[in-house]
Structure 1
């Protein structure tokens, strides 16, 4: 049985991946700063990766600042890939985002694209799991907005449940290296509806307005920049179902 190391294994997605793999009897180790493993500094990687067959990277940058994001993902990924080569790891799986390879000016996406490039060029067989935006992100688009009206991009979104993201990553980890794959939720709708429905669920009476010059995390984006391509793996959990649990 393959030994799987989940970097970021105590985080929102990583912990779910660990749980799913263990539930199916796989030999999996959760690695994070909580147990002395830090991909950004490289501390503990050589020890934890000894004998590993698969490494899954579910880490997230500590902020949305453009320089911090790029530095975090390129530095931590370089450390991981070097340690994997030394340990003879045969499959690198990383969580990334749908849309990183498309024209857009989202600085977080640019940092992820730089990470992806390192992985593709490493020579280690890989699977890059490009997920659409999580259901949880609706809150981030509303928090911090001032006044009674929230202006957002008029682009579309096809969000996915965090648990389904973890399922997609777990499947990739136990499968053969698949290159770039995309996963998404079942429904596409305007970002304005995405945020407005969350506000209604929370009893927030602010109004969401879609605008051609509205932004998504600071960037004006094309209408379909966040949507999956044909052939993406589509999961069944809907946004409406998730909102009922909130």
Structure 2
């Protein structure tokens, strides 16, 4: 079975490709670096030829606002049209828990449009909405440049990137849901407290300030804006486990 991962060089895409290649699958890495661009359409038809499943984990910076919305609209249109031509049987989209309540943000309007386009495409589909993954929160902390980083103290149920990649891989072996599923981590935490722990572990001297008015990529967060519903599938890796693992030095294997 041929599976195409669109956005294969991102944080989740790389893990997903690695997991799928442990199975008896033909996995195609599709990203700009491999000559496939979902935004321009370059290389899509060749990449999707003979594909049974396409997994869309493309992303842009949430700070891009309306440009992000345009990216998701054009990228999704190109990808779905190429999928119809190729006879794709299952189109999987990675989206975000809480999107419906964050539409003041151009980024989240783009994610919502991406979901709607998949649902209306006529291709059997699954939309997998995930809570924030720990690696994403870590990236937000690292990207900050100011002395104080203001983060809303909203409740979150973050997930490890490895667990999220596992759940996306599971979708390949499942029938299309033709709807939306939610996935989340096992613990309910405060977003600012997670950021403090990550900054401390990384010896970042900047101060994390809890600020209920701090925007979340252009949207204001309520206390429960980022939490999944009652039927979410729950992963296993805890924040402490992820943090401990992320601080371990990478081992380099030296051939004999």
TM-score range, shorter chain: over 0.9
Partner of 2:162: 163
Q: Is 1:217 equivalent to 2:217 in the alignment?
A: yes
Deviation for aligned residue 1:81: 0.5
Range with bigger deviation, 58-67 or 70-79:
58-67
Partner of 1:231: 231
Q: Report the Cα distance in structure 1 between the residues aligned to 2:118 and 2:155, rounded to whole angstroms.
A: 29
Partner of 1:79: 78
5+ unaligned residues in a row in structure 1: which ranges? none
Tell me if the contact between 1:91 and 1:126 (Cα under 8 Å) persists in the aligned partners.
yes
Deviation for aligned residue 1:107: 2.9
Sort the Cα spacing of 1:35 and 1:209 in 2 relative to 1 into closer, same or farther, 3 A: closer
Tell me if the contact between 2:185 and 2:238 (Cα under 8 Å) persists in the aligned partners.
yes
Partner of 2:119: 120
Q: Is 1:176 equivalent to 2:175 in the alignment?
A: yes
Tell me if the contact between 1:141 and 1:217 (Cα under 8 Å) persists in the aligned partners.
no
5+ unaligned residues in a row in structure 2: which ranges? 248-256
What is the TM-score with the length of structure 1 in the denominator? 0.92
Query: Where does 1:51-200 land on structure 2 (aligned, <5 Å)?
Result: 51-61=50-60, 64-103=63-102, 105-142=104-141, 143-147=143-147, 149-178=148-177, 179-200=179-200
Q: Aligned to 1:146, what secondary structure does the other structure show? A: coil
Deviation for aligned residue 1:70: 0.7
Count of paired positions: 244
Sort the Cα spacing of 1:107 and 1:89 in 2 relative to 1 into closer, same or farther, 3 A: same
Q: Report the Cα distance in structure 2 between the residues aligned to 1:12 and 1:137, rounded to whole angstroms.
A: 8
Q: Aligned to 1:101, what secondary structure does the other structure show? A: helix
What is the TM-score with the length of structure 2 in the denominator? 0.89
Range with bigger deviation, 25-34 or 42-51:
25-34
Q: Report the Cα distance in structure 2 between the residues aligned to 1:61 and 1:91, rounded to whole angstroms.
A: 23
Q: Report the Cα distance in structure 2 between the residues aligned to 1:18 and 1:4, rounded to whole angstroms.
A: 9
Deviation for aligned residue 1:111: 1.1
Deviation for aligned residue 1:170: 0.7
Range with bigger deviation, 103-112 or 93-102:
103-112
Sort the Cα spacing of 1:62 and 1:141 in 2 relative to 1 into closer, same or farther, 3 A: closer
**Alignment deviations for residues 27-63 of structure 1 (CA, whole Å, 9 cap, x no partner):** 2211222221111111111112111111111111256
Range with bigger deviation, 137-146 or 49-58:
137-146
**Alignment deviations for residues 124-157 of structure 1 (CA, whole Å, 9 cap, x no partner):** 110111111010233344342523x433212111
Sort the Cα spacing of 1:83 and 1:235 in 2 relative to 1 into closer, same or farther, 3 A: same
State the Cα RMSD in Å: 1.7
Q: Aligned to 2:21, what secondary structure does the other structure show? A: helix
